[in-house]
Structure 1
Amino acid sequence: MDPLASLRHLVQTHPLIDNHAHNLLSRAAATNYAKYPFEQITSEAQGPALRNAPSTLPLQRAAAQLATLYNCPSSDWDRVKAARDRWVDRDYEGLIRRCLEGTHSLLLDDLLTDQDIEPFDWHDRFAAAPTKRIVRIEVVAAQVLSSILPGGYDQSTGSPAVLQPYLNQFRQSFHERIAEAIADPAVVGFKSVICYRTGLAVQAADDTDDGVLLQSFARTVSRGTGSVYRVEDKPLNDWLVRQALNQLQSAKETDPSGPNKPLQLHTGLGDNDINLILSNPAYLQALFAQYPKVDFVLLHSAYPYTREAGYLACVYPNVYLDLGEVFPMVSRDAQESIIRESLEIVPTTRLLWSTDGHFYPETFWLANKQFRDALEKVLVDYSLHGDHTVDQAKLAAADILFNNSNRLYGLNGKANYNGGLAPAIGPLSGPSSTDALEIFMQNNPDIKYIWLQFIDLTATTRVRMFPVREFAKIANKQRRIGVCLAVFLMLQDDSVCPEGSTTGQFYMEPDLSSLCRNVGLDSKSATVMTWWRSEEGTELEGCPRTTLHNMTSALRINHGIEVTCGFEIEVILLKCITNPDTNEEDFVPCVNNHSWSQMTRETRRLVPLLEEITEALESIGIDLEQFHAESAPGQFEFILPPGSPVAAVDTLIKARQVVTCIAEQHGLRATLHPRPHPHAAGSASHAHVSINPATREESFLAGVLQHYPALTAFALSTDASYDRVQSGLWAGSEWVAWGTQNRETPIRKISQGHWEIKSLDGLANMYLAMAAFLAAGCLGLQENQPLTVHDCLYDAATLSDADRSALGITTPLATSLSQSLDSLAADTALQDVLGPSLVQNYITVKKAESKKLNTMQPEARRKWLVERY
């Protein structure tokens, strides 16, 4: 395993704590560019100066990256904004969720503004841990002033002495507000923007002449307009900082074990109202020495004073350097330079990460993406030169992204890194097994057993169980687990096709990125998916996960295309009864009064079960996008989050297991049978596939349509699957076609480069089904194939032959597994891409399985499938 690959993976996927950010705009204000110019995502410029932003390198880079986020074919700024508008209009919260992926916790300074934003606790839904507050002391002071002098003060009406009672009241109220915030568990720190107001040359000692403070107070309130005050008079601003520090230091002296609440200070880069000279954190040196029990965080990399800030973080044990805001405000070279400068003398235990994200979710996405890329490049470069070991670099990355903020702010969070369903990025990459397993066990100390799991060609889940101590040997390559090659040609009842052999074996290699605790059953265990390896430890043709991984990689490497997948689980909940006549068990609907997206009296009885499933999935990092009743009696749909193809299928497998286990605890059977009730609608397992960029979507789709008869052998993998291939069942109807938002075509186009595959059900080996779909698209790209099948807006089965021909719709869907297998056997191009040996084994297994099932009576066959799927 390449150690640098494990470093890259950790940098790109480790959860992060965003130690300094601000509230997001409400949906109503999210596209109000007149008030909140979108160009400010990469610029501190305002007004006329902001017009130059599109000609800056940071904005041009951001535009190109946002084009990939929005699936926009062009990085033209106006087209990028238009694509953004469409996403905001369609699914604003979905955009936010995408932009905050990987964020464990947000620490929000929620006093940037009180207009057009969502409250701080609203942001909880987008991170793994609850949002915490950072209190801005200058805003607290302004709020206190508004409460005691709501009408303002006219300085010409008398001497400042008349304001002494108000100053006394202000002192007391300000102290009380700071004390309340120190005691508030939702508050984890404070912030001062004195850098903006009067500069960082804060006077370290209190004025002996109280008249100086009174005069400053008088000037401040006289500049207030009604109840609006801006505190920007140096003696008063300096006093606010000292008073906050006095209270923070006193709190630590009174209770050394109490919560730690640092003071953040804006330094360096800022708007045009900042005095750049006075934004140098070197001015704060005396203050750090005067308050040794208070921790200080120098925000925004102190750019362009990064080295000065780095020196302070090196020599003062109570000073930390935050690396935020410059991402994405400066160029790539500048970002890498800032990280290098910060590492010149600063201990990596004193560096923190933040986005300074505000208003727009894209500010979070761009900052996180660019920071991870820059950090990866710098740490890998130092590792290659031997400046530090890979393990030291990995620890530094984890500290900067998570551990340092977690410790400094007393968050007590656990980084769920490889503890849930982290993205799988390939058989030969990812963090070292030792690290991944150790992190997982630290987060899940109650786990005693690990299940090694794989899905065979019949979509049967096969499991081996190990005590943790034995699994550790497997993960660390001190032990290998061999599986007989007969599995390649094995049926669900463990019988082996005549072509199979009991000689030889392959080895299961755990993919630690899929390690996830089991929930929904009484077991102190976790599950991990596996790659199949040869005797020599190389990739083995026939491994479904490897096949899908390789297809995903081929699209990325050969065509520059990234693929995202997401799945819908449809299950029918059945209850098991004993037939009094035959004394045999049978499965019947658990409800009768039931219909699509409706809550009937019987359906409502199942709500606790549905919510239990949802909460169990959430506990292992699978956040459902929605769930609802489907059409058949007892049928429900659960919509899973998207991810990279292998990771998305891993998520699907795990989620199905959770649904099944929890249903069993309630005495029900959750089946994936394509149509257990002939009188009702069937169950699918629809897949959403997106390619990015979508500039060649027509060739991709053309390849899929050309090879659709063959790939159906993987998607509709049993004879029972074809009971759904009928017009009027909302299952894709009967012809190879595609249509924009047409649910009666096998492929529904949702948006540019985004399709839903409808002729697909839960009995498929989903790794192979998705690999076949991507392989067909890849063939279309290789051949630059034109799209000759046109957008169909109707159920093609209801059209005349002439109308179908005019749309280029000429191929009917197979009506049996036998037809699909024949098409697959004849499609040598698809076989070559997927692997001829794999395809031949699959055809052999499926023919044998079909023969076995067709010897059964229909009811016995139905029960057999319900028991197994």
Structure 2
Amino acid sequence: MSPTTAGPVYEAVARLPLVDHHCHGVVTRDPDLDAFESLITEGAAWPRAGVSPFDTPVGTAVRRHCAPVLGLPRHVPAAAYVARRAELGWREVNRRFVTGAGTRVFCVDTGHTPEPGTTPVELARCAGGTATSYEVVRLEAVAEQVMARGTEPDAYADAVARAAQEAVAGDGVVAVKSVAAYRTGLRLDPDPPSAAEVREAARRWRASGHRRLADPVLVRHLLWTAVELGLPLQLHVGFGDNDIRLHQVDPTHLTDWLHLMSGTIPVLLLHCWPYQRQAAYLAAVFEQVYLDVGLILHHAGPPRSRAILAEALEVAPFRKVLYSSDACGAAEFFLLGALTFREGLGGLLQERVDDELSLKDALRIAAWIGHDNARRVYGLRGRDPEHAVDRLC
């Protein structure tokens, strides 16, 4: 056995209880083959092209690593895999995969609900009696609800501030999130918009009749609203669905904004690929910046997870890197996210023992990234919200 797939660090990471600091709910139905294929791709299913999302690195990983969890042989055909899912039923499927991840804390973005899925409470139940969940409030969803109520442009800024305060006052809320990357990209004027600019932008938005917030002035307003709220702010960076314009979501576009808001709130850069090196640089030079490499680990698959993590850890402070799965819809992604993270980090740190790191240092770094950093940033130590649960799905 290779020394980088065995050893005390590798084995410790394999047992490490995880804090998944950014994830979503999973579906509460039994999807057919077409629906499941849509769940496992960030793009779209392309039936007319004859191309299946199962014929991708993540699709291969589902058939290789998830099939045995359902009692199937490895590399089972896609149709048989989905049929077995339906045979077991979504409750049992969700329980097996979420429990199998070994995650003990979930920070759940509740602002993305393309179809009905589990709440934070229900997700924690899937993981068993010792699991806990918290909520992350998506600011664009808050603003869109304000506009949908028919709020006048002159009242928009105050209404958003009140609605955001009410949203984060809920039990178990530990952070807010912006998806500016999807709406405008990150090449934004770093300065806070004036009251007149916000009123005029709100007027334009209302006149357009569109529900979706996509005005750069109002996106900037939300980023500064987050600063006022005082909670950690999660920002999507890099890889995502085809709403993303990838060249516009390099996190270094945020440099001037980070200078302006320095010393206020933690900023957590999510997923980051292919900009994990740029995100690591920002974490190295700005006190308030943290990062993860998130869902790219299971989309690239176990063979590449070590290399991606190695790039993120080239210059990033070890106390600035967190774990997330960004699992959404398909419960398999909780398992695959944890598996690829453990394989990648465990192998990387084991490889560096006796070269760059002592065994003690490697074990500390693993614990920091797996759970301690998230607990510190989000203030989770000692918290016991109503989301703590004591039963399975």
TM-score (norm 2): 0.89
Counterpart AA for 1:46: A
2:222 is matched with 240
Judged with a 3 Å threshold, the aligned counterparts in structure 2 of structure 1 residues 398 and 285 are, in CA distance, closer, same or farther, namely same
Supply the RMSD in Å over aligned alpha carbons.
2.7
- Asked whether 1:390 is paired with 2:359, we answer yes
2:279 is matched with 309
2:295 pairs, out of 320, 325, 330, with: 325
Q: Tell me the distance in 1 between the aligned counterparts of 2:254 and 2:150.
A: 31
- Asked whether 1:412 is paired with 2:389, we answer no
Counterpart AA for 1:285: T
Q: Structure 1 residue 203: deviation in Å?
A: 1.6
2:105 is matched with 105
1:205 alignment partner, SS class: coil
Judged with a 3 Å threshold, the aligned counterparts in structure 2 of structure 1 residues 290 and 139 are, in CA distance, closer, same or farther, namely same
Q: Tell me the distance in 1 between the aligned counterparts of 2:320 and 2:50.
A: 34
Structure with higher Rg: it is 1
Q: Tell me the distance in 1 between the aligned counterparts of 2:173 and 2:82.
A: 35
Q: Tell me the distance in 2 between the aligned counterparts of 1:71 and 1:52.
A: 23
- Kindly indicate whether the alpha-carbon contact (under 8 Å) linking 1:39 and 1:54 is maintained by their aligned counterparts in 2: no
- Kindly indicate whether the alpha-carbon contact (under 8 Å) linking 1:39 and 1:59 is maintained by their aligned counterparts in 2: no
Q: Tell me the distance in 2 between the aligned counterparts of 1:184 and 1:65.
A: 37
Q: Structure 1 residue 87: deviation in Å?
A: 2.0
2:320 is matched with 350
- Kindly indicate whether the alpha-carbon contact (under 8 Å) linking 1:40 and 1:50 is maintained by their aligned counterparts in 2: no
Q: Tell me the distance in 1 between the aligned counterparts of 2:175 and 2:82.
A: 35
- Asked whether 1:38 is paired with 2:37, we answer yes
Counterpart AA for 1:67: A
Q: Tell me the distance in 2 between the aligned counterparts of 1:277 and 1:146.
A: 31
Q: Structure 1 residue 93: deviation in Å?
A: 5.1
**Cα distance per residue 1:642-685 (max 9 Å; x no partner):** xxxxxxxxxxxxxxxxxxxxxxxxxxxxxxxxxxxxxxxxxxxx
1:353 alignment partner, SS class: coil
Q: Tell me the distance in 1 between the aligned counterparts of 2:90 and 2:137.
A: 32
Q: Tell me the distance in 2 between the aligned counterparts of 1:339 and 1:89.
A: 32
2:51 alignment partner, SS class: helix
1:497-646 matched pairs, under 5 angstroms = none
1:297 pairs, out of 233, 247, 268, with: 268
- Kindly indicate whether the alpha-carbon contact (under 8 Å) linking 2:25 and 2:328 is maintained by their aligned counterparts in 1: yes
- Kindly indicate whether the alpha-carbon contact (under 8 Å) linking 1:328 and 1:367 is maintained by their aligned counterparts in 2: yes
Q: Tell me the distance in 2 between the aligned counterparts of 1:376 and 1:356.
A: 20
Q: Tell me the distance in 2 between the aligned counterparts of 1:299 and 1:25.
A: 22
2:190 pairs, out of 183, 204, 212, with: 204
Q: Structure 1 residue 141: deviation in Å?
A: 0.3
2:198 pairs, out of 188, 213, 221, with: 213
1:25 is matched with 27
Q: Tell me the distance in 1 between the aligned counterparts of 2:45 and 2:10.
A: 40
Q: Structure 1 residue 114: deviation in Å?
A: 6.6
Counterpart AA for 1:324: G
Judged with a 3 Å threshold, the aligned counterparts in structure 2 of structure 1 residues 373 and 25 are, in CA distance, closer, same or farther, namely same
1:826-865 matched pairs, under 5 angstroms = none
Q: Structure 1 residue 315: deviation in Å?
A: 0.8
1:217 alignment partner, SS class: helix
- Kindly indicate whether the alpha-carbon contact (under 8 Å) linking 1:320 and 1:350 is maintained by their aligned counterparts in 2: yes
Q: Tell me the distance in 1 between the aligned counterparts of 2:313 and 2:249.
A: 21
- Kindly indicate whether the alpha-carbon contact (under 8 Å) linking 1:195 and 1:267 is maintained by their aligned counterparts in 2: yes
Q: Structure 1 residue 350: deviation in Å?
A: 0.5
Q: Structure 1 residue 208: deviation in Å?
A: 4.6
- Kindly indicate whether the alpha-carbon contact (under 8 Å) linking 2:95 and 2:126 is maintained by their aligned counterparts in 1: no
Q: Structure 1 residue 45: deviation in Å?
A: 1.2
Q: Tell me the distance in 2 between the aligned counterparts of 1:139 and 1:269.
A: 21
1:84 is matched with 85
Judged with a 3 Å threshold, the aligned counterparts in structure 2 of structure 1 residues 126 and 54 are, in CA distance, closer, same or farther, namely closer
Q: Tell me the distance in 1 between the aligned counterparts of 2:189 and 2:60.
A: 42
Judged with a 3 Å threshold, the aligned counterparts in structure 2 of structure 1 residues 357 and 247 are, in CA distance, closer, same or farther, namely same
- Kindly indicate whether the alpha-carbon contact (under 8 Å) linking 2:21 and 2:107 is maintained by their aligned counterparts in 1: yes
Q: Tell me the distance in 2 between the aligned counterparts of 1:312 and 1:84.
A: 42
- Kindly indicate whether the alpha-carbon contact (under 8 Å) linking 2:97 and 2:334 is maintained by their aligned counterparts in 1: no
Q: Structure 1 residue 129: deviation in Å?
A: 3.9
Q: Tell me the distance in 2 between the aligned counterparts of 1:367 and 1:218.
A: 42
Q: Structure 1 residue 11: deviation in Å?
A: 0.1
2:53 is matched with 53
1:266 alignment partner, SS class: strand
- Asked whether 1:379 is paired with 2:364, we answer no
Q: Tell me the distance in 2 between the aligned counterparts of 1:268 and 1:396.
A: 25
Q: Tell me the distance in 2 between the aligned counterparts of 1:173 and 1:45.
A: 35
- Kindly indicate whether the alpha-carbon contact (under 8 Å) linking 2:322 and 2:373 is maintained by their aligned counterparts in 1: yes
Q: Structure 1 residue 263: deviation in Å?
A: 0.2
Counterpart AA for 1:271: D
Q: Tell me the distance in 2 between the aligned counterparts of 1:372 and 1:238.
A: 36
- Kindly indicate whether the alpha-carbon contact (under 8 Å) linking 2:137 and 2:177 is maintained by their aligned counterparts in 1: yes
- Asked whether 1:9 is paired with 2:11, we answer yes
Q: Tell me the distance in 1 between the aligned counterparts of 2:50 and 2:193.
A: 41
Q: Structure 1 residue 106: deviation in Å?
A: 0.6
Q: Tell me the distance in 2 between the aligned counterparts of 1:197 and 1:37.
A: 26
Q: Structure 1 residue 377: deviation in Å?
A: 1.1
2:137 is matched with 135
1:660 is matched with none
1:179 is matched with 165
Q: Structure 1 residue 223: deviation in Å?
A: 3.4
2:268 alignment partner, SS class: strand
Counterpart AA for 2:276: T
Judged with a 3 Å threshold, the aligned counterparts in structure 2 of structure 1 residues 90 and 315 are, in CA distance, closer, same or farther, namely closer
Q: Structure 1 residue 366: deviation in Å?
A: 0.9
- Kindly indicate whether the alpha-carbon contact (under 8 Å) linking 1:133 and 1:186 is maintained by their aligned counterparts in 2: yes
1:148 alignment partner, SS class: coil
- Kindly indicate whether the alpha-carbon contact (under 8 Å) linking 2:95 and 2:392 is maintained by their aligned counterparts in 1: no
- Kindly indicate whether the alpha-carbon contact (under 8 Å) linking 1:99 and 1:362 is maintained by their aligned counterparts in 2: no
- Kindly indicate whether the alpha-carbon contact (under 8 Å) linking 2:281 and 2:315 is maintained by their aligned counterparts in 1: yes
Unpaired runs of 5+ residues, structure 1, are: 150-165, 249-260, 415-618, 627-869
Q: Tell me the distance in 1 between the aligned counterparts of 2:392 and 2:299.
A: 33
Larger fraction in strand = 1
1:85 alignment partner, SS class: helix
Judged with a 3 Å threshold, the aligned counterparts in structure 2 of structure 1 residues 206 and 379 are, in CA distance, closer, same or farther, namely same
**Cα distance per residue 1:50-78 (max 9 Å; x no partner):** 93423323322331112222221252222
Q: Structure 1 residue 47: deviation in Å?
A: 4.2
Judged with a 3 Å threshold, the aligned counterparts in structure 2 of structure 1 residues 116 and 108 are, in CA distance, closer, same or farther, namely same
1:224 is matched with 209
Judged with a 3 Å threshold, the aligned counterparts in structure 2 of structure 1 residues 245 and 50 are, in CA distance, closer, same or farther, namely farther
Q: Structure 1 residue 345: deviation in Å?
A: 0.8
Judged with a 3 Å threshold, the aligned counterparts in structure 2 of structure 1 residues 208 and 66 are, in CA distance, closer, same or farther, namely closer
Q: Tell me the distance in 1 between the aligned counterparts of 2:175 and 2:191.
A: 23
Judged with a 3 Å threshold, the aligned counterparts in structure 2 of structure 1 residues 31 and 307 are, in CA distance, closer, same or farther, namely same
Q: Structure 1 residue 89: deviation in Å?
A: 5.9
Higher relative contact order (Cα pairs below 8 Å, separated by 6+ residues): 2
- Kindly indicate whether the alpha-carbon contact (under 8 Å) linking 1:23 and 1:120 is maintained by their aligned counterparts in 2: yes
Judged with a 3 Å threshold, the aligned counterparts in structure 2 of structure 1 residues 222 and 99 are, in CA distance, closer, same or farther, namely farther
Q: Structure 1 residue 246: deviation in Å?
A: 3.0
- Asked whether 1:271 is paired with 2:257, we answer no
- Kindly indicate whether the alpha-carbon contact (under 8 Å) linking 2:157 and 2:199 is maintained by their aligned counterparts in 1: no
Judged with a 3 Å threshold, the aligned counterparts in structure 2 of structure 1 residues 625 and 123 are, in CA distance, closer, same or farther, namely closer
Query: Percent identity among equivalent residues?
Result: 28
Q: Tell me the distance in 2 between the aligned counterparts of 1:368 and 1:91.
A: 19
Counterpart AA for 1:374: G
**Cα distance per residue 1:238-265 (max 9 Å; x no partner):** 22212222332xxxxxxxxxxxx21000
1:588 is matched with none
1:740-751 matched pairs, under 5 angstroms = none
Counterpart AA for 1:233: D
Judged with a 3 Å threshold, the aligned counterparts in structure 2 of structure 1 residues 89 and 316 are, in CA distance, closer, same or farther, namely closer
Judged with a 3 Å threshold, the aligned counterparts in structure 2 of structure 1 residues 72 and 333 are, in CA distance, closer, same or farther, namely closer
1:369 pairs, out of 334, 339, 344, with: 339
**Cα distance per residue 1:417-455 (max 9 Å; x no partner):** xxxxxxxxxxxxxxxxxxxxxxxxxxxxxxxxxxxxxxx
- Kindly indicate whether the alpha-carbon contact (under 8 Å) linking 2:292 and 2:321 is maintained by their aligned counterparts in 1: yes
1:530 is matched with none
Unpaired runs of 5+ residues, structure 2, are: none
